[in-house]
Amino acid sequence: MNIRTRLAILTALSMLLTVGLVSADWEQAMSDYKAGRFGESAAAFQALVDDSPNYDFGYYMLGQSFVKLKKNSDAESNFQKAIELNGEKFEYHYGLATAYFNRKQYAKTVSALKSAESLASAPNLQLLLYKLRGFSNSGMKHWSEAIDDLEKARAIKSSPAVLDRLGSAYYELGHIDKALPVLQSAVSANPSSPALMLRLTNALIDTAAETRDESGKISTYGKALDAAKRYKALKPDDADSHNLVGRSALGNKQYAVAENAFKEVLSRKKDHCYAMVNLGKVYTAQKSWKEAESILRDAATCAPRLPVIYETLGFALQKQKRLDEAITTYEKAMAIHPSSGTQSLIDTCKKNIAIEQENKGMDAAEREAAEAKRIADEEFAEAERKRKEWEKKREQN
């Protein structure tokens, strides 16, 4: 029995004792509710409030029964009736907020809880309020407000769900340094949650990407790789789990691991454009220029507007000394997203082409000079032969 159910039961019993009404019908309704027979309990509580229309807790329990039946619209009207009859009960406002939350009406949830905040005097009630309001603000992507409430909830009693939402809120605001320890705590508390492991892996990859120190970058990618492998163990047939292993291994310079991971991705999802790009990066790191060129051409067909494809493909062509093709490819990247780095590579290619042409010109001049020397040498040798022949004839005469 969860805390909400216990709260509902205790509230109902306390109210009954207050008014001195513990009837057989009520006992049966409560028995049905506690046993999980929510259809029966809803019918019983409906009959009770029909007979006693001023019993606010009857409407409250009817609302709770409808929540359990996932009939949140019906629950809302009954919680509202309970609040009209007695607005001083935190549980009634919280019940209404829960019904709104279940329908993803997060703004209404926050509004309902605002009315209940002054009534949440005990820590257990404050915990309920901060959690639900934090989750609602998270649902609306109001990350700062979510962090405020979820930190308060964590201070009262931490839980994997609170840590997950809190870590995600920090992550969305770009506070990766704060998100990481929270997500690590969440994973420690619930290591079998794929969603938590996924968020932790992504946070580690992002942290590594932002790390300037090379040794720190490689080390953090190593931690990401460990997390990615744990995620893959939880989702072994998911292409994205293999992709995360590949991305982490690439950053950790474990190129064989990365290559195998990206090939696994493409065996499961042939049109995974980013896996093609990253496999091209692996081949580039391994100086396998032909293989890099091949997969990156596939990537260009898959995602023709992704500049990194043309940047990496251009580099593979440049390393094969196909400089004109490299320039054309780099220029495609520049047309999509101009970059000083890419422009520098274009300039380098043009400079190398000019040097090659100069060298070719020098080679041609050297060949011409060598040919002229050969002819001159032959002519001189012929002239010497004729001179010696003439000298010999003159001596004979």
Extract the tokens encoding 210.
Answer: 């932002």
Task: Give the integer Cα–Cα distance in Å for 200 and 194.
Answer: 10
CA distances from 128 to 54, 121, 171, 184, 245 (A): 27, 11, 23, 23, 38
Domain-embedded: residue 82: yes
Domain-embedded: residue 227: no
Domain-embedded: residue 60: yes
pLDDT tens digits for range 82-116: 999 999 999 999 999 999 999 999 999 999 999 89
201 within 8 A of 233, measured Cβ to Cβ:
no
Domain count, the chain: 1
State if pTM tops 0.85: no
Domain-embedded: residue 35: yes
pLDDT tens digits for range 257-269: 999 999 999 999 9
In the prediction, which pLDDT does 365 show?
59
| Domain interval for residue 98 | 1-105
Domain-embedded: residue 121: no
Mean pLDDT by 10 residues, the chain (397 residues): 53 48 78 94 93 93 96 96 96 97 98 93 96 98 98 96 94 92 94 93 94 95 98 96 98 98 97 98 97 98 97 97 96 96 96 85 62 66 67 65
- Neighbouring C-beta atoms of residue 84, cutoff 10 Å: 11
Domain-embedded: residue 212: no
What is the CATH classification number for the domain harbouring 45?
1.25.40.10
Task: Give the integer Cα–Cα distance in Å for 181 and 222.
Answer: 17
Domain-embedded: residue 278: no
